[in-house]
Amino acid sequence: MVTTTPTRGKQLFNPDRSITKQIKAQQIQPNSTKNLPAFYRNVEEALDKRRATQSLFSIVHSNWQTKDAVDFCSNDYLSWNTTGLIRKAFLEELSRYPDFSVAAGGSRVMEGNYPYIEETELEIAKDHNAEQGLIVNSAFDANVMVWSALPRPGDVIVYDSLVHASTHDGMERSLAIQRTEFQHNNIAAFRNVLTSILDTQPLIKQGRRSILVAVESVYSMEGDVCPLLELVEIADEISDGLGNIQFVVDETHSAGLIGPNGTGLVCELGLEADVAVRLHTYSKAMGSCGGIILSNDIVKSALINFARPTVYSAAPPFPFVAAIRAGHRLLGTPEAVKASTA
């Protein structure tokens, strides 16, 4: 939702670019594709099903980007983007490396690796009390990479019912033999699911296979916080010291907002040693782009080898990583605090 302040001689809200366009997009156009090849007719038929339920997405003009708008919809939680703080920090970071390369030139496992990205990963990992970091193109990619690459044959995934679509995409590609959800933020339901799995999966009960738990520190659609400490305590109790119930925490909506200098819920609770994998993004509170996967050396090596984007897509280029580093270094600074309260 966006409200705008009227300005004389300036039309901030253009109905042809926003509400009217969205309404028109929902209208089914009978016979509009009858003379087109079957490919286009079939695609349009699928879109009409969306239109029939008023659920078709369309790309429209973003009115929140004007300074006269009150922003209730974007990811710019700390106002680093609208105030220009992140832009200033980013340009200053670029100016320190005038001869930077625009492109990485290859994947991380080929010719696309470079010292600056490794330095940034280690700096961020250290500040989050993690062994390693792996910078990726987005938090969406991070979830897909983690869940498609890490579960081993015989493992089971347990997930909160409200985890992100990217987690589901990754889980669908995993090698896990079972995926079981538990009621959102319900501690008793979580315990019951774990107990049921141990009763039906002898290799897990023996500690020879693992349960991987997918939760988010803050759930964006509900706005509530994961009872992470309680879940970790239950997992420790039920695993009986075997350590084969491991957590993957998506910190997308807590990064920059919760914990010491915005390091997230895991750091806020002191659970760094109890969580196998953390995912952070820089495209929300920190107003830039990309994400990072925080883990130990073993997990990072597994992601490099088994996550297809690491092998088959180009590494994040220098300007991309510079934006991440600029955002990370702003956390906790007086300038950042001032911008977030402006």
Distance between CA atoms of 118 and 205, rounded to whole angstroms? 38
Q: Which of 16, 24, 46 has its CA nearest to residue 33?
A: 46
What's the average model confidence in pLDDT over 200-214? Answer: 97
What's the average model confidence in pLDDT over 306-318? Answer: 95
Distance between CA atoms of 31 and 18, rounded to whole angstroms? 26
Does 59 have pLDDT greater than 50? yes
According to DSSP H, which parts of 15-103 are helical? Answer: 19-25, 38-52, 85-95
Distance between CA atoms of 299 and 83, rounded to whole angstroms? 37
Q: What is the CB neighbour count within 10 angstroms for residue 18? A: 15
What is the per-residue pLDDT across 244-280, written as a single tens digit (0 to 9) for each?
999 999 999 999 999 999 999 999 999 999 999 999 9
What is the per-residue pLDDT across 170-189, written as a single tens digit (0 to 9) for each?
999 999 999 999 999 999 99
Question: Phi and psi (nearest 5°) for 119?
Answer: -60, -40
pTM for the predicted model, two decimal places: 0.90
What is the per-residue pLDDT across 319-336, written as a single tens digit (0 to 9) for each?
999 999 999 999 989 888
In order of their start, the domains of the chain are 2-71 (no CATH), 87-340 (3.40.640.10)
Task: Provide Rg for the chain, Cα atoms.
Answer: 23
Tell whether the torsion through CA atoms of 169, 299, 190 and 217 is positive or negative.
negative
